[in-house]
Amino acid sequence: MRNLIYILQKEFLLIFRDRTILRLIFIMPVMQLLLIPLAADYEVKHISIAVVDQDHSSESQRLVQKVGASNYFRIVATPADYAEATRLVEAGRTDLILTIPPHFSRVLATTGHASLQLAADAVNGVRAGLGTTYALAMVREFQSELHPSPKLAGGGVPLIEVTTASWYNPHVYYPAFMVPGLLAVLVTMVGAFLSSLNIVQEKEAGTIEQINVTPIRKYEFVLGKLIPFWVLGLLSITIGMVVAKLAFGLWPAGSFLTIYVFAALYLVGVLGIGLFISTLTDTQQQATLLSFFIMMIFVLLSGLYTPIESMPRWAQHIAAFNPPSYFVEVIRGVYIKGSTLRDLLPTLIRLAGFALVFNTLAVWSYRKRSS
Amino acid sequence: MFFAFVRKEGKHVLRDRRSLLILLGLPVVMMTLFGFALSNEVKNSNFIVVDRVPDAESIALTARLDESRYFTFVGKVRDEAEIQSYFRRGAARLALVFPAGFDHEMRHLGHSQLRLIADDSDPNTANTVSSYASVIIAQYQAELASGPPGSGGISVEARMLYNPQLKSSYMFVPGVMTLIIMLLGAMMTSVSIVREKERGTMEVLLVSPMNPLMVITGKAVPYMLLCLVDVLIILLLSYGVLDMPGGANIPLLIAESTLFILTTLALGLVISNAVQQQQTAMFVSLVGLLMPSLVFSGFMFPIENMPLPLQVISHVVPTRWFYQIASSIMIKHLGFAAVIKPTLVLVGMTLALLMVSWRTFKQRL
Amino acid sequence: MSEWVIEAEQLTRRFGDFTAVDNISLQVAPGEIFGFLGANGAGKTTAMRIFCGLLEPTSGRARVAGFDAMSEAEKIKQQIGYMSQKFSLYGKLTVKENIRFFAGIYGLSRRELKEKSAEIVDRLGLASSADKQVDELPLGWKQRISFAVATVHKPKVVFLDEPTGGVDPIVRRQFWDMIYESAASGMTVFVTTHYMDEAEYCDRISIMVDGAIAVMGKPAELCAQHGVATIEDVFVSLARKATRQGD
C-alpha cells in the first residue's frame, strides 16, 4: 500500500509534466465532438441534376421547371448534349442526368407514348436510387397533370398526406445521436492508447528494468498505472460532456451517476486492454499499431456509425464481445432515453466481466522477469 | 551506400514480425469489415402496420412496400403501445399507420392521411427509412393517377452509371485504400523517425557521410513499399473476393497511389521535424491526420451535407483528393484526363510539404 | 549460509540456439569489488541480469545475498541495487523526486528518506541542481545520481553494468571514489567495464570470452600468470581467441 502511494506520486508528476498527454486530454474531446457530429449527416439531400433538353417545347420546359421547383433537386447545369452531361458526372458535379430527347412532346401528343432518359451516378447507390425514384415520381406527376386520369373523382391526383412522427429524438437532431456515441469512443481511445503507450515508453527508456529490480509487487505496479489513467479517462469524459453541453446543448436525460458508474467500470476494462497491449509489445511503434488495429475494429463494430442489427450475423457475434458496443449503447441510452442504472444492470454485469478478463490477462502477462 | 542503408532499414521493418503481420493484416480486416459488416444501405428494414379496417388500397400499399427491396412486412399491430414494444425490441424500424376508411377517403374525398413512425433513436437510419417509404408512397399515388407504368404515357428509361446493381459496397474500397496509405505513410514514418531522434541515434546517422536527405528517404522507402503491397492486397481482395467489376486502369491507379504515398510521407516528415517524442508524433498523426482524413475524405460522411466551413476545410485535406482520384479510377473507370485536377492538387501539396519539411529540417542542423 | 555474497554454479543461459552464458561458476565475497570483464556480446549483461532476478537461467544455480536467484528472486531484490548500462532514472523527474521515489519503494521511512535525500545531494555537490529535471543534467552527473539511487537502501550487493561509459576520465575517477566508499562500508560491488584501467581498481576480476569465464583472479596475479604488464594485454590476448562478434 505504501509503495502504491510512491508509485502514484511518481506517475502523476510525470503526467503533469507531459504536455502531450495534457493537450490530448483536452484537444481530443473537442476535435472529436465538434468535427464528427457536424460532418456525419447521411441524409440524402441536395441531389443535383443536369437536364439535357433537346426538345425545347413548352411541355419540356414545364417539366424542367417542375423539377427545378421541387425540394428534392437542384438543377446544376443544362448541357447541350448527353456527352457534355457525362463529363459533369465524371467531375462529380452532378448526380443525375435527365435527357428529354428531340421531338419528345410531338411524339407524346401524336402517339400517346414517349420516353425520357434518366442516368444516375450510382457510385453512391443510395443516392442514385433515391434520386431516380424521386425523378420517376415527378415524371408521373407531370404526366398526370398533362392527362388527368378519368379513373378518379375530381380528376386530380389523390393526395396522400404523409406525416412522420418522431418519438425519441423529436427534432431529428443528429448530434443528439452521434455525440453520446462519440463520448463512449473518446473514453475508449484515451484509455487504451495512453495506458498502452505509457508502459511501452518505460520499456523503451529502460526505466521498467530499474523498477523490476526493486521489490515492487506486480499488483502495485499495475494499479500504479491503472489509477492515473483511470482518473484521466474520467476527466476526458467530463470534458467531453461539457463540450457536448456548450456546443450542442446536450445534457443527459438520465443521471450523471449512471454515466460515471459505467464510465468508471468500463475504463477499468479499457485500461486492462491497454496494459495487455503493452505487455505484448516492445516499442511504442508496435504498441501504436496494435492499439490502432484493435481500436479500429472495436469502434467500427461498436454501432456508432452503423447499427449493429443491420450487420451480418457473424459480425453481430463479434460485436457481442466488443466492450465499446455496450458502452456506446449505455451512453446513448442515458443521454437520449434517460435509461437508469436498473435498466442497464445486465450491461453493467457484462462490462464488469470484461474488466475482469482483460485485467487478469494483463496482470498474468506482465512479467517482472523474462523466462 | 544508400541502397545498403535502405536494405538495413528494410530488414529492420521485416524483422518485426508482429508489426508486419498487423500492417499486412490491416487491409484484409478493413476490407472485410467495410465490405461485409458495415453498410449504410438500409435493406429489408422490418416494418409494421396499424390498419384497423383493411381495405383494397391499404392492402395494396402494404404489399407495395413489402415488395420493394427496402422493406419487409413483419406484422400488424393494434396501437402505438404495440409499436413501442416492437421498436424497443428492435423488431421493426418503421410503422405505417392507416386511417380507417383509407380507400374511401382516397377515392371520394381526394385526400387522406398516412402516418409514418420511424424508430428515430438512430436518426440517420430513421431518416433514410422514412424517405424510402415516402418515395414509394409518392410513386404509388402517382400511379393511381396515371395507371400502372408502361400502360401508356411517358416511360422513363433509367440507367445506373458505373454501378448498375446499386451495390454500395464498392465505395469503401478506395476509402480503405486512402486510410491505409495515410496510416502507414504518415504515422508509421513519423513515429519511426522520431524514434531515432528519441534514442539519439539520429545524430549518429546525421554525422555519417550520408546526405541527411538520404537518411530520411532511407527510412521512408520500406514503408513506401509496404504501402504499395497493401494497395495490391486491396486490389486482389476487391477483384478476387468482392467481385468488383474490372476495367479500371490499374497502372494509373498504382501511379496515383505512389503519388499519394509521397504526399503522406511528406506529411510524416513535417510531423517528425516538429516533434521530439514518439508519443507526440503518434497523437499528432492520430488526432491531426487520421481523424480529419476519415471525416473529410468523403467516404464515410458525404461532404456535400457538411456545413460550409467544413466543406471549405475539406479542400486542404489530401485524402479528399486521393479518394476522388481512386474512386474515379476504380469505380467510374475513368482515365487520367478525368483526374488531372485532383492529381495536380496532390502534386502541389506534396511539393509544399516537402519544402516545409526541408526548411524545418535545415533549421535543426 | 555460505560466506559468499554472490555464488554461481555452472550457470547457463540460452536464447534459442545461442548460448549467451556458458556454464559459468564464480564466488564473490562481501565487501569485494569484483570486475566482470569481457568484449561486447561476451555475455556479461546476461549474467548480470540473471543475478538481479531479471532473467531466468536455463540451467545451473545462482545465489545472491543468500537467496536463490531462481526461486527467491523477489527476496533478492530487497538486498541488491542495480544500475543498468542505459541511463534509466525518470528523466522528467527532478533529482530529489527520483531519490524519493526509489527510496520510497525500497521501504525507507519518511525520515530516513529525507535524510538520505539531503545526504546524497550534499555528497554529490548537487545543491544547485537538486530541483532540476534529470534530463537536463550532464551524463556524468546522471551516472553518479544513478549510482546513488541504486544504493539508496544500503543493499548488500550493487550491480553496475558499464557505469562509466561515455564520460571523461575525471568523472570516471569521481565515480570510482563513490564505489570505493561504498565498498569500504561493506557493500559488495559487482561491476562490468570496458576500461582496462578500471579493471586494475578491482579487488578481483574475471574475463568472459564467448559466454564462458576464461580467467579469474586478482589483477596483479593475472598479469603475472600471462607474463604481461597490464590487464589490457591479458584481455587482448584472450579476446583474439574469441569467435563471437560484438554487436
Q: Do A112 and B278 touch (CB under 8 A)?
A: no
Segment 202-231 of chain A within 8 Å of chain C by CB:
205-207, 209-210, 212-216
The verdict on residue C194 lying in a domain is: yes
Strand partners, A75: A49
A42 closest CB neighbour out of B142, B192, B302: B302
What's the distance, CA B113 to chain centroid?
39
The chain A residue lying nearest B111, using CA atoms, is A159
pLDDT for the residue C102: 92
For chain B, give the mean pLDDT.
82
Least confident residue range of A283-297, B57-71, B141-155, C217-231: B141-155
Which residue from B342, B28, B326, B22 is spatially nearest to B178, judged by alpha carbons? B326
For B351, half-sphere exposure in the C-beta direction (CA atoms, 13 angstrom radius) is: 6
Shortest CA distance from B152: residue in chain A:
A113
User: Which residues in chain A show pLDDT less than 50?
Assistant: 150-157
Do residue A43 and residue B137 have CB atoms under 8 angstroms apart?
no
Measured in angstroms, the CA of C223 and the nearest CA of chain A are apart by: 35
A17 touches chain B (CB under 8 A): no
pLDDT at C195 over 90: no
Q: Hey, is the C-beta of A14 within 8 angstroms of any chain C C-beta? A: yes
What was the pLDDT predicted at B155? 65
Task: Please check whether residue A96 is in contact with residue A52, taking contact to mean a CB–CB distance below 8 angstroms.
Answer: no
Structure pTM?
Answer: 0.80
> Contacts of residue B142 in chain A, CB cutoff 8 Å?
137, 140-141, 143-144, 157
pLDDT tens track for B251-294: 999 999 999 999 999 999 888 888 888 888 888 888 888 888 88
Per-residue pLDDT at A166:
55
| Contact at CB, A13 and C97, closer than 8 angstroms | yes
Range with the poorest average pLDDT among B83-97, B141-155, C37-51: B141-155
Query: Is any Cβ of chain B less than 8 angstroms from the Cβ of A83?
Result: no
CA distance C69 to chain A (A): 11
Percentage with pLDDT > 90 across chain B: 17
Per-residue pLDDT of B164-191, as tens digits, reads 655 556 778 888 899 889 888 888 888 8
Q: What is the pLDDT of residue A49?
A: 92
Spell out which residues of chain C touch residue A201, defining contact as CB-CB under 8 Å. Answer: none
Subunits close to C (at least 3 CB pairs below 8 A):
A
| Closest to B98 in 3D by CA, of B146, B47, B147 | B47
List the 169-228 stretch of A: residues with Cβ below 8 A of B: 169, 172-174, 176-177, 193, 197, 201, 204
Pairwise CA distance, residues B104 & B55, whole Å: 9
| CATH numeric code, A47-146 | 3.40.1710.10
pLDDT tens string B27-43: 999 888 888 777 656 66
Is the Cβ pair C105, A3 closer than 8 Å?
Answer: yes
pLDDT higher at A308 or C174: C174
Query: Between A152 and C12, where is the model more confident?
Result: C12
Question: Left (φ > 0), alpha (ψ -120 to 50) or beta: where does B227 sit?
Answer: alpha
Residue A157: the pLDDT is 46
Determine whether the interchain pair B128/A137 forms a contact, defined as Cβ–Cβ distance below 8 Å: no
Residue among C80, C90, C106 minimizing CB distance to A14: C90
Q: How far apart are CA B284 and CA B176, in angstroms?
A: 21
Q: What is the mean pLDDT of residues B318-336?
A: 89
Which neighbouring-strand residues pair with A120? A96, B160
- Best interface-test mutation with C: which of A6, A8, A217 has the largest number of C CBs within 10 A? A6
Decide if A142 touches B, using CB distance below 8 A.
Answer: yes
Q: Which chains touch A (3 or more CB pairs under 8 A)?
A: B, C
More confident residue, B66 or A91: B66
Quick check: A370 and C56 CB within 8 A?
Answer: yes
The predicted pLDDT at position B130 comes to 77
Per residue in B206-243, pLDDT tens? 676 667 777 777 888 888 888 999 999 999 998 888 88
Within a domain: C211: yes
> Per the CB < 8 Å rule, is B124 touching A310?
no
Predicted pLDDT of residue A289? 87
Average confidence (pLDDT) over C11-16: 91
**Which residue type sits at B251?**
P
- Contact between chains at A2 and C104 (C-beta distance less than 8 A): yes
User: For position B149, what pLDDT does the model report?
Assistant: 44
Return d(Cα A352, Cα A346) in angstroms, integer: 10
Residue C129: count of CB within 10 angstroms of its CB: 19
How long a stretch of residues is chain A? 371
Each residue's pLDDT tens digit, C51-110: 998 888 999 999 999 899 888 888 888 899 999 888 888 988 999 999 999 999 898 888
- Report the distance separating Cα C245 and Cα A122, nearest Å: 64
Tell me the CATH number at C80.
3.40.50.300
Sign of the torsion formed by the C-alpha atoms of A326, A327, A332 and A333: positive
Domain ranges, ordered by start, for chain A? 8-40+174-365, 47-146
B186 vs B144, which has greater pLDDT? B186
Question: Residue B161 is nearest to which of A119, A134, A164, comparing CB atoms?
Answer: A119
- Cross-chain residue pair C82–A205, CB shorter than 8 Å: no
In chain B, alpha helices (H): 2-15, 17-32, 56-67, 80-89, 102-104, 123-146, 172-182, 189-199, 201-207, 212-240, 250-274, 278-283, 291-296, 308-314, 318-330, 340-364
Q: Is B307 exposed, middle or buried (0-12, 13-18, 19+ CB in 10 A)?
A: exposed
Closest in B42, B158, B334 to A132, CB measured: B158
List pLDDT tens digits, range C110-129: 899 899 999 999 988 888 88
In a domain, C151, yes or no: no
Looking at chain B, which subunits does it touch, using at least 3 CB pairs closer than 8 Å as the criterion? A
pLDDT reported for residue A169: 53
What integer pLDDT is reported at residue B305 of this predicted model?
Answer: 76
Q: For residue B242, what are the CA distances in angstroms to A122, B36, B134, B235, B355? A: 18, 9, 32, 10, 40
Cα separation, A188 vs A302, whole angstroms:
11
pLDDT at position C137 over 70? yes
Q: Are A7 and A220 in contact (CB under 8 A)?
A: yes
**Alpha-helical segments (H) within chain A:** 2-17, 19-39, 58-69, 82-90, 104-111, 125-146, 174-205, 207-212, 218-248, 256-280, 284-300, 313-320, 323-332, 345-365
Cβ within 8 Å, pair A119-B159: yes
User: What's the pLDDT at B313?
Assistant: 87
User: Is C100's Cβ below 8 Å from some Cβ in A?
Assistant: yes
How far apart are alpha carbons C198 and C187 in whole angstroms? 18
Domains delineated in chain B: 2-38+168-364 (no CATH), 45-146 (3.40.1710.10)
Residue with grid cell 437536364, as numbered in its chain: A51
B-contacting residues in A 291-350 (Cβ below 8 Å): 292-293, 296-297, 300-301, 305-307, 309-312, 314-315, 318, 332, 336-337
Which chain A residues contact residue C90 at CB under 8 A? 10, 14, 207
What's the angle, vertex CA A163, arms to CA A160 and CA A164, rounded to 5? 140
pLDDT band at C150 (very low <50, low <70, confident <90, very high): very high
CB contact, 8 Å: C133 with chain A?
yes
What distance in Å separates the CA atoms of residue C191 and residue C34, rounded to the nearest whole number?
A: 6
Q: CB-based contact (8 Å) between A10 and chain C?
A: yes
pLDDT at B272: 87
Question: Is C112 among the domain residues?
Answer: no
* ipTM of predicted complex: 0.85
- Given A207, A209, A213, which is nearest C90 (Cβ)? A207
B95-133: string of b/e by CB count within 10 Å (b at 16+)?
bbbbbebbbebbbeeeebebbbbbbbbbbbbbbbbbbbb
Q: What is the pLDDT of residue A172?
A: 56
C58: containing domain: 6-88+156-239
- β-bridge mates for residue C28, sequence order: C6
Q: Under an 8 A CB cutoff, do A6 and C88 touch?
A: no
Where residue B321 falls among pLDDT bands split at 50, 70, 90?
very high
pLDDT at B158: 66
Contact B71, B47 (CB under 8 A): yes
CA-wise closest residue to C144 among C87, C193, C69: C87
Does residue C49 belong to any structural domain of this protein? yes
The domain total for chain C is 1
Q: CB distance A297–B33 less than 8 Å?
A: yes
Contact of A285 with chain C, judged by CB distance below 8 Å, is answered with no
